[in-house]
């Protein structure tokens, strides 16, 4: 038994030595990863972050289209894709998922642009034409896209009603855009009327032949009946019966009385 003690001591020493050189577990700060791919599709790290109460509220700034610019117009047509892009600002803990939607106040409908995006996503590409086609094929009862103005909504898994929180992303609903249906070209001569112009409902297109007829009548009337002037304020028509000469005559001035010498 005593002969085995040195062997046992040696084994214990080797075990302790091996544990001393074992690698440490990887350490990371959840939610602060900046190694997202160029398209921003890398999933965020899970867990929580100790955010100080003095940290500013997080959010996103839409960069495409520019958040402060006027509304952009996009066609609902085959092959037309719309890119929405954004940057995170003061976000210390990225959300788990992002949802991008479009709200139309004309019909009070909300349309999904993208759901369950990774929390670090910074852009999404959307085809309005493909959306309408897929909705019509899968479920005709769902609302179709219409030519109108829309409000872009980007929010995380907490929804759209959350307020400002230090280091957390606030929903962004500041961008407006518009969709329209392209129409075939119709020349003015074929009866095109601007439906959006003021008073367009009462406009009627006049046929060019009718305009030419009116012009011919006016020219013929002027040739057959010329206007001849008789002074500043009196006129007569040369094709009518002769009128009496009514030239304005000036009244002779009375001579001043002469004094007799």
Q: What is the pTM of this model?
A: 0.57
Q: Prior bond to 145 cis, omega within 30?
A: no
Rounded to whole angstroms, what are the CA distances from 185 to 182, 235, 254? 9, 51, 78
Q: What is the pLDDT of residues 204-251, one digit of tens each?
A: 555 666 667 787 877 777 766 554 444 445 455 555 545 455 455 555
Domains of the chain by range and CATH? 59-180 (2.60.40.10)
Which residues, at least 6 apart from 78, have a Cβ–Cβ distance to it below 8 Å? 129
Phi and psi (nearest 5°) for 73? -115, 135
Q: What is the pLDDT of residues 78-125, one digit of tens each?
A: 999 999 999 999 999 999 999 999 999 999 999 999 999 999 999 999
């Amino acid at each position: 038994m005593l002969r085995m003690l040195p062997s046992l001591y040696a084994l214990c020493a080797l075990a302790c030595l091996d544990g001393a050189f074992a690698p440490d577990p990887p350490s990371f700060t959840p939610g602060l990863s900046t190694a997202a791919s160029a398209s921003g599709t890398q999933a965020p790290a899970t867990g929580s972050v100790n955010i100080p109460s003095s940290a500013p509220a997080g959010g996103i700034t839409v960069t495409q289209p520019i958040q402060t610019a006027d509304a952009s117009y996009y066609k609902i047509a085959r092959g037309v894709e719309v890119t929405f892009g954004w940057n995170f600002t003061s976000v210390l803990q990225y959300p788990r998922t992002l949802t991008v939607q479009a709200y139309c106040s004309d019909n009070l409908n909300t349309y999904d642009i993208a759901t369950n995006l990774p929390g670090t996503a910074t852009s999404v590409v959307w085809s309005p034409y493909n959306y309408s086609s897929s909705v019509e094929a899968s479920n005709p009862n769902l609302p179709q896209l219409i030519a109108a103005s829309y409000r872009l909504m980007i929010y995380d898994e907490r929804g759209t009603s959350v307020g400002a929180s230090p280091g957390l992303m606030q929903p962004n609903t500041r961008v407006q855009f518009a969709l329209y249906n392209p129409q075939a070209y119709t020349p003015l001569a074929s009866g095109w009327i601007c439906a959006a112009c003021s008073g367009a409902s009462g406009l009627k297109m006049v046929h060019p032949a009718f305009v030419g007829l009116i012009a011919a009548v006016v020219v013929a009337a002027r040739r057959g009946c010329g206007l001849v002037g008789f002074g500043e304020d009196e006129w007569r028509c040369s094709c009518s019966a002769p009128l009496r000469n009514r030239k304005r005559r000036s009244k002779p001035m009375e001579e001043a009385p002469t004094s007799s010498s």
